[in-house]
Amino acid sequence: MRRLPSRPITATDVARAAGVSQSAVSRTFTPGASVAPATRAKVLEAVKLLGYRPNALARSLITGRSRIVAVVMAYLDNQFYPDVLEELSGRLQERDHQVLLFTAKNGSASDPLLDQVMRYQVDAVVLASTTLSSALARECRAAGVPVVLFNRTTDDPDVSSVTGDNLGGAERIAAFLAAGGHRALAFMAGSETSSTNRDRERGFLRGIARAGLPKPTRVVGHYTLAGAAEATRALLSGPARPDAIFCANDHMAIACIDVARHAFGLRVPEDLSVVGFDDVGAAAWRGYDLTTFSQPLQPMVEATVGTLMDLLENPEEPPRAAVIKGELVVRGSARLPAGGFTTHEGRRVWRP
């Protein structure tokens, strides 16, 4: 019963079976095209009979739209990204677009990758990798392909981006830690070349200055678990042990807590407060119960898809730099200030 797929069924086959022209078949699958209901019915019957499916590639060749969006990602072990991916893919599928996924090895050159992206005639590109050189963005734009940077910005004011409130969030974290009575703060940087890290550090420093606290100790965790663990060890072995660490993302904060607890026997938050950024799923796990500034997934993805669709309609659209507000979600990994708590969407949050 293993019937060989003799030859793929084409629109011409369907046309012959339905006794109409190939054009009629095409129009049946083109929304808004002019087809008589009777013809349409005949066509659909033949389609069902033969198991025909339009060839999206051939269609793209003519229309110049592939309905494919390239998504470039790295760090998929940081839960934030798969969550973004799932949401993004879902939203795009809803709008009849597909996701062509490119995973960038962390240190790898982006050139061959860009080549592949361009060859597939993607309609747009979402760059959701903090590390990739912004050359990629520039080249895409040069080729006339709309680009949206996700969770990342670049100096080029001509490229659209969607980010969380890195500056404001980090500043609020500083205020929160100051209000909680911490005096010796530390900052664990992620990847030093990333814009998220730059903004979060800048915001944190600004908040610290405002609170009149001394400059924080600084270590680098490279946005990886291993890097964060090592950075934590360095920090806690040093002469001036901090009483609070702000890690540039949740992923690192988790490693930080693990090391503090199990390698140094510290209690969190009694001996050491740890705060993260992103509010990934694991931050709510009771084993970590992480206080963190949220990057609201759905609004961020909606802004991305919205920008994308607008750019597809009109490539001349001026670029947007959307900054999606978040909240400081208070859990149990940092000592609490006396007041300032509110409830937001069922979670306890803090505002200065």
Partner DNA sequence: CCAGGATTTGCATAGGTATGCATAGGGCGC
Partner DNA sequence: GCGCCCTATGCATACCTATGCAAATCCTGG
Residues lying near DNA in the complex (CB under 7 A): 7-8, 10-12, 19-24, 26-27, 29-30, 33-40, 52, 54-55, 58-59, 61-63
User: Per the structure block, which two tokens stand in for 336?
Assistant: 């609490």
3 binds a copy of itself (CB under 8 A): yes
Site string for a copy of itself, 267-306 (x = CB under 8 A): --------------xx--xxxx------------------
Q: Whole-number minimum distance, CB 123 to DNA, in Å?
A: 14
Interface with a copy of itself by CB under 8 A: which range of 53-61, 160-168, 198-206, 269-277? 53-61
Partner interacting with residue 62 (select from DNA, a copy of itself, none; CB below 5-8 Å by kind)? DNA
Q: Whole-number minimum distance, CB 189 to DNA, in Å?
A: 43
4 binds a copy of itself (CB under 8 A): yes
For a copy of itself, the closer of residues 63 and 237 by Cβ is 63
Q: Whole-number minimum distance, CB 16 to DNA, in Å?
A: 11
Q: How far apart are CA 102 and CA 119, in angstroms?
A: 13
Q: What would the 3-class secondary structure string for the chain be?
A: CCCCCCCCCCHHHHHHHHCCCHHHHHHHCCCCCCCCHHHHHHHHHHHHHHCCCCCHHHHHHHHCCCCEEEEEECCCCCCHHHHHHHHHHHHHHHCCCEEEEEECCCCCCCHHHHHHHHHCCCCEEEEECCCCCCHHHHHHHHCCCCEEEECCCCCCCCCEEEEECHHHHHHHHHHHHHHCCCCCEEEEECCCCCHHHHHHHHHHHHHHHHHCCCCCEEEECCCCHHHHHHHHHHHHHCCCCCCEEEECCHHHHHHHHHHHHHCCCCCCCCCCEEEEEECCHHHHCCCCCCEEEECCHHHHHHHHHHHHHHHHHCCCCCCCEEEECCCEECCCCCCCCCCCEEEECCEEEECC
Strands 328-329 and 291-294: antiparallel
Q: How far apart are CA 12 and CA 22, in angstroms?
A: 5
Interface with a copy of itself by CB under 8 A: which range of 16-24, 32-40, 59-67, 191-199? 59-67
Which position among 48, 95, 111, 116 is part of the footprint of a copy of itself (CB under 8 A)?
Answer: 116
Which position among 32, 119, 239, 314 is part of the footprint of a copy of itself (CB under 8 A)?
Answer: 119
For DNA, the closer of residues 118 and 284 by Cβ is 118
109 binds a copy of itself (CB under 8 A): no
Which position among 25, 81, 110, 222 is part of the footprint of a copy of itself (CB under 8 A)?
Answer: 81
89 binds a copy of itself (CB under 8 A): yes
118 binds a copy of itself (CB under 8 A): yes
Partner interacting with residue 21 (select from a copy of itself, DNA, none; CB below 5-8 Å by kind)? DNA
Tally of CA atoms within 13 A in the half-sphere of 224 that contains its CB: 9
Partner interacting with residue 106 (select from a copy of itself, DNA, none; CB below 5-8 Å by kind)? none
Residues in contact with a copy of itself by the rule CB under 8 A: 2-5, 8, 51, 53-58, 60-61, 64, 66, 68, 71, 76-77, 79, 81-83, 85-86, 89-90, 93, 98-103, 105, 113, 115-116, 118-121, 142-144, 158, 225, 254, 257-258, 261-262, 281-282, 285-288, 315
